[in-house]
Structure 1
Amino acid sequence: MQIRRIAVQQFRNIGGAALELEGRLHFLVGSNGQGKTNLLEAAGFITALRSFRSADVKTLISHGGNEAAIAVDMEHEVEGETQLTIKLKPGAKEAWLEATKVSRLAEVIGRFPTVVFSSQDQQLVRGSPGGRRRWLDLTLSATDGGYFKALQAYHRALTERNALLKQDAPVAQLAAFEQVMAEHGVVLVRARREALAALAHDLTEAYAHIADRAEPAGFGYAADVEVESAEALLEKWAAGRRRDLALRSTANGPHRDDFDFLLHDREAKSFASEGQQRALVLSLRLAQAAWFRAKRQVQPVLLADDVLGELDPVRRDRFWSAVPKEAQVIATGTTAPDESLGRWQVFTVRDGSFGAAE
């Protein structure tokens, strides 16, 4: 997939901008706080109709504005030349493919894959389980409609069970929602385990390339309930009802799952150096891009947000050599890119405005 034009209105500090993208490599250069990341955020929004920085749509709309808009013209391996338009209002999203309004936003999710490389990614290694779960859920939801539906159904039932726990509801009512959670929860656990096993292959290859085969990398999946069966989930919730009633919350289940990054079968968050952790998250994003390409038959657009400056020159060059040669890259930084890495189309960014570099 290639983005050929992106237009943004009233999105964060970008009042209005339209970029015509030529070739494969594009670079946004400017001081911090000028709007480079905001443009990448808008480009990345087309994949899952959500920001990689904020879950609150209101924060994306320019101060004093009522609506933000993103319009992207693309060349797509499956859909040919197409345009996606997204409008954001407080508490609402709307999307159009060409001139046709999308009736169900779920139909758009995953069709236009992008992968964001961000300095925040290191929190995937050493941050909370919630961040890792969110990344995994978004990755699987973008390529598997069944997973997305199971995730939605599980969390709706979980919300209802938690509400009943706060009301000291009878066992029969709790059990009804536990049945729904178990049905969909086992789908989540199985899909997560299978996906991490598949992603580990590409993670290992990418890390070996970036880190020059320094140590074997992989994942360790920590399912909150290890047995992959609806019965096991039901037994866990039944045994924990008294505790959950006291806590007024569901303490166990797939919503508590986690996974670890491993180096030499040891947890990277405890033993890996800063450089190793950076190499791991870059490798994770390359593995995610390979996953999208395999599942959707579409080459994702790679969005690199000022991350390569954190690498030493050797690992930076190894990273670029690991990027698929056919992939479009939109990158940001405070200084212009090294010409040895390829021929870049460069835009200067200042106060939310974008101009072609001289």
Structure 2
Amino acid sequence: MRLRRLSLHHFRNVGFAALDLAGRQQCFVGANGQGKTNLLEAIGYLTALRSFRATDNKVLIAHGQTGAAIACVVDHERLGDTHVTIKLRADGKEVWCDQTRITRLADYLGRFPTVVFSSQDILLIRGAPTLRRRWLDLTLAAMDADYLRALTGYMRALAERNALLKSGRVVDAELAAFEQALAPAAVELIARRQAGVEELNRSMQAAYAGLCDAVEPAGMTYQPSFAEPSVEAFLARLESGRARDAQFRSTLVGPHRDDVGFTVKGTAAKDFASEGQQRSLVLALRLAQSAWFQARSGVVPVLLADDVLGELDPQRRRRFWAAIPETAQVIATGTHLPDAELGTWQVFDVKAGDVTAAVAG
């Protein structure tokens, strides 16, 4: 897939932009805080109609405006020349694909894969489990409508059970009613996460070996808070934990408390891996995500590199670029022009939300 045109209107600090993209490598160049990442965020929104930075669409709309818009023209392997328009409002969004309005997210998922490589990805190793769960949910839901259905059903039932717990009027019969919806969704979610992590892990191990000379094996494991793969076992666990859940006014077991663990040389990457190993690990993770998206969709993802390579030594940086498929479009950001050895780039200058074409580097 290649992005050929990007138009933005009132998206974050970009009042208006209409960019024609030529070739397979583009770079947005400018000082920090000028809006470079906002452009990648808009492109990344194509994949699952979610921001990789924010959970609330309201923050994507420029201050003082009632809405924002993203319009793209995509050269697509399966769909040909395709036009996508996304209109954002504080209370929702509209999506149009070639003059047809998309009314079900399940009909849209998997069409337009993008993968973001961000300097903040290091938090997937060092940060809280919430960040890793969000990454896993966004990754799997982007290509699997059944995963999104199970996740949505689980989170809805969880919210209802937690609301009852918070009310202080806990009645076993009412909790049991919510648990009947919660348990099947939880078991399906656990199974789909397990399968997804196993597939991603195989690709990540190969990518990490390429970045690090195969001398320090890496791994990724799914760590569910409840590992029994049956509805009956999960229902029994919920029932036995009602008194404790009532005390804490929250459901203390289930997929909403799962985690993903990363290792290097068999030890926890969060605690024992070096800075360079951790950064290589998250690059390998994103390369694995790209490979998984392509395998699931049959479409080569657009790769969005948000100033990610400055912390790597020159050898690992070269190996990262060598690992990127030659057919993939790469759209990068930086405070200066990319290295000449990386080929020809179409360059755009970004200043205070204004985007102008520069001489190709």
* Shorter-normalised TM range: over 0.9
Query: Which residue of the partner structure matches residue 107 of structure 1?
Result: 107
Residue number in structure 2 paired with 1:351: 352
CA RMSD of aligned residues (A): 1.0
CA distance in 1, matches of 2:35, 2:128: 28
Tell me, yes or no, if the aligned pair for 1:111 and 1:142 is still in contact at 8 Å: no
SS in 2 for 1:262: strand
Partners of 2:215 and 2:358 in 1: CA distance: 39
2:236 alignment partner AA: E
Distance in 1 (CA, whole Å) between partners of 2:345 and 2:323 is: 18
Aligned residue in 1 for 2:53: 53
Alignment of 1:206-285 (within 5 A): 206-285=207-286
Asked whether the equivalents of residues 201 and 221 of structure 2 are also in contact (C-alpha less than 8 Å), the reply is no
Q: Is the 8 A contact 2:109 2:144 kept in 1?
A: no
**Contact 1:218 1:262 survives alignment (8 Å):** yes
Aligned residues: 358
- Moved beyond 6 Å, runs of 4+: none
Task: Indicate the SS of the match to 1:10.
Answer: strand
TM-score (norm 1): 0.98
Partner of 2:312: 311
Which whole-Å CA distance do the structure 1 matches of 2:206 and 2:343 have between them?
Answer: 23
Query: 2-side partners of 1:119 and 1:196: how far apart?
Result: 22
The residue aligned with 1:24 is: 24
Deviations 1:30-65 (A, max 9, x none): 111111111001000111111111111111111111
CA drift of 1:110 comes to 3.0
**Equivalent position of 1:4 in the other structure:** 4
List alignment gaps of at least 5 residues for structure 2.
none
Give the drift of 1:104. Answer: 2.1
**Deviation at residue 98 of structure 1 after TM alignment:** 1.6
Three-state SS of the structure 2 residue aligned to 1:251 is: coil
2: CA distance between counterparts of 1:226 and 1:56? 31
Whether the aligned pair in 1 keeps the contact of 2:116 and 2:303 (CA below 8 Å) is yes
SS at match of 1:62: coil
Higher mean displacement: 292-301 or 49-58: 49-58
Letter in 2 for 1:144: D
Q: Partners in 1 of 2:251 and 2:108 — Cα distance?
A: 32
Q: 1:61-88 CA distances to partner (integer Å, 9 max, x unpaired)?
A: 1111111100010011121111110011
In the other structure, the counterpart of 1:190 is 191
Q: Residue 66 of structure 1 aligns with which residue?
A: 66
For the residues of structure 2 that align with 1:15 and 1:163, how far apart are their CA atoms?
A: 40
Percent identity reads: 57
Alignment partners' CA distance in 1, 2:273 and 2:193: 24
- Opposite residue 220 of structure 2, the aligned amino acid is F
* 100-109 vs 113-122, which moves further: 100-109
- What is the CA–CA distance in structure 1 between the aligned matches of 2:144 and 2:357, rounded to whole Å? 39
The secondary structure found in structure 1 opposite 2:252 is coil
- 5+ residue gaps, structure 1: none
Tell me: CA distance 1:105–1:143, structure 2 relative to 1, closer, same or farther (3 Å).
closer
Judge conservation of contact 1:183–1:230 (CA < 8 Å) in 2: yes
- Equivalent residue, structure 2, for 1:135: 135
TM-superposition CA deviations, 1:74-115 (whole Å, max 9, x none): 011121111110011112111111212212234223321100
Once the two structures are superposed, the pairs formed by residues 128-207 of structure 1 within 5 Å of their partners are 128-167=128-167, 168-207=169-208
SS of the residue 1:310 aligns to? coil
Instruction: Give the TM-score normalised by structure 2.
Output: 0.97
Question: In the aligned structure 1, how far is the partner of 2:200 from the partner of 2:274?
Answer: 22
Q: Classify the secondary structure of the residue corresponding to 2:51.
A: coil
Residues 95 and 105, structure 1, Cα contact 8 Å, conserved in 2: no
Q: Could you say which residue in structure 2 is the equivalent of 1:95?
A: 95
**2:331 matched to 1:327?**
no
Query: How far apart in 2 are the matches of 1:164 and 1:300?
Result: 42
- 1:225–1:232: 8 Å Cα contact kept in structure 2? no
Deviation at 1:356, TM superposition (A): 1.7
> Counterparts of 1:99 and 1:10 in 2: how far apart (Å)?
22
Instruction: Determine if contact 2:66/2:89 at 8 Å carries over to the other structure.
Output: yes
* 1:122 counterpart letter in structure 2: I
C-alpha separation in 2, matches of 1:177 and 1:264: 43
